[in-house]
Amino acid sequence: MAVDKSGERVRRMFGEISPKYDFCNHFLSGGVDYYWRWRTVRTVRADGPAPILDVCTGTGDLALAYWKRSGDARVVGADFTHEMLAIANTKLAGKRVKCGKQLPNFVEADTLKLPFPSDAFQIVSVAFGLRNVSDTSGGLAEMARVCRPGGHVVVLEFSLPSNRILRGLYVWYFKHILPRIGQLFARNQESAYNYLPDSVSEFPAGRELADMMERQGLVDARWKPLTFGIATLYWARKPTD
């Protein structure tokens, strides 16, 4: 049976776990999620002052990582879960504006219907959120639409290790241990931490996702497994003609 990724269910689920979302991410990943974002903003770097958009931004960690790294580029984070954005905005309170640089701006918006003009952003990124969009191709199409020619669409997402032994151990942990720990810390009615392994196992990976990006008009799609393939970073360019 396909995983229920209806917008209503996903919004409700992430709203329920929002108070413990950051803690669970850092705890369950052993803190390696910091490295994954660090690698992302250094692999696909901001170039100049054109704005950057992070969709499905959640509590804003990747948007903030780009903000710290992006010079004078304006950074926007978009998500359709109000509770997650409320936490993202609390993170801005401790950030000091330096040399007139704007703080990130967080807006409530659905990735399938982004309220931004076409060709607007030099980077359009998403971290651990594309697999939660009910229509993966539609989400990629919107990301490509608002990306400016010559800019990049970036996807950081969970994946499964290619090594057979490591994959077996990881899948066992993912299906039997992680949901229990996640539910213990972030009790919710939508079984969010059972949803996680189901949605990862169902999500396209490697060449399949790269092909999906190119079918939306992007070119030069590449990917790089991170931490034995537990996560994968994808990026592709929007052509200039």
Judge whether 174 lies within some domain: yes
CA 183 from centroid of its chain's CA atoms = 21
pLDDT at 96: 62
Is residue 167 in some structural domain?
A: yes
Residue 225 placed within a domain: yes
Q: What is the pLDDT of residue 200?
A: 80
Domain that holds residue 119: 7-237
**pLDDT for residue 173:** 81
* Domain count of the fold of the chain: 1
Buried b (16+ CB within 10 A) or exposed e, 136-171: beebbbbbbbbbbeebbbbbbbbbbbeeeeebeebe
Sheet (strand 52-55) strand order: 105-108, 75-79, 52-55, 121-127, 147-158, 231-237, 219-226
Q: What is the mean pLDDT of each run of 10 residues along the chain (241 residues)?
A: 74 78 74 95 95 96 94 94 94 68 92 98 96 95 98 95 89 76 55 69 93 98 95 97 80
Residue 137 is encoded by which pair of tokens? Answer: 């191709």
Please answer whether residues 106 and 89 qualify as being in contact, where contact means their C-beta atoms are separated by less than 8 angstroms. yes
- pTM of the full predicted structure? 0.92
Query: Is 115 exposed, middle or buried (CB count within 10 Å of its CB: 0-12, 13-18, 19+)?
Result: exposed
CA-CA distance, 19 to 59, in Å (whole number)?
10
- State residue 99's pLDDT score: 52
Residue recorded with tokens 């592709």: 236
User: Per the domain annotation, does 2 fall within a domain?
Assistant: no
* pLDDT for the residue numbered 197: 74
Residue 114 lies in a domain: yes
Q: What does the pLDDT read at residue 190?
A: 42
CATH code of the domain in which 106 resides: 3.40.50.150
Domain assignment of residue 1, yes or no:
no
d(CA 160, CA 200): 8
